[in-house]
């Protein structure tokens, strides 16, 4: 099965080359962070289509301040969905297991503007999760001191 590509027009956004990056989007002083979440016993998961789940994921990230550049989803026959969002702020990934009600979410961001925890909480509510487990991992950035070219 080929990946489902969602056109950028669905998000009211322009092509990646046309949408400039600003200092507010790519903050040079922000420390990158990775959020990993497990949503347990999601009661609504089995009743939703893969398109509805991907839509909820994209909408939650959009409301949390993310700018979606591209979305790619792959539905596994009768076993779940993987949805990858390329964001101006970095990326987000969702994996589902409808047979067990499990959802895993990974969000990596270089921007304090993106409210990752709000997106995770919204998805937990939308999918009817009994419990949500979240880990935040600080990540090294590439904005450290630049080497002196004279050396």
Annotated active-site positions, please? 90, 95, 110
**In the chain, where does DSSP find H-type helix?**
50-63, 116-126
Strands lying side by side in the sheet with 68-76: 4-6, 68-76, 80-87, 90-97, 102-109, 33-40, 131-138
Specify which residues 33 forms β-bridges with: 109, 138
In the three-class reduction of DSSP (H, G, I as helix; E, B as strand; rest coil), residue 15 is classed as coil
CA–chain centroid gap for 55, Å, is 12
Q: Do residues 124 and 21 lie in contact, with contact meaning Cβ atoms separated by under 8 Å? A: no
What is the number of helices (H) and of strands (E) in the chain? Answer: 2, 7
């Amino acid at each position: 099965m080929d990946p489902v590509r969602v056109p950028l027009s669905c998000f009211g956004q322009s092509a990646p080359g046309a949408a400039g990056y600003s200092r507010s989007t790519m903050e040079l002083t922000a420390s990158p962070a990775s959020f990993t979440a497990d949503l347990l016993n999601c009661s609504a998961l089995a009743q939703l289509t893969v398109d509805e789940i991907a839509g909820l994921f994209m909408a939650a990230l959009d409301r949390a301040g993310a700018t979606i550049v591209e979305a790619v989803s792959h539905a596994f026959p009768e076993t779940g969905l993987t949805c990858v969002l390329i964001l101006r702020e970095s990326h987000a990934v969702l994996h589902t297991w409808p047979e067990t009600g499990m959802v895993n979410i990974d969000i990596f961001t270089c921007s304090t503007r993106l409210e990752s925890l709000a997106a995770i909480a919204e998805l937990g509510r939308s999918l009817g999760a009994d419990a949500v487990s979240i880990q935040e991992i600080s990540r090294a950035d590439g904005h450290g001191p630049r080497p002196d070219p004279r050396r």
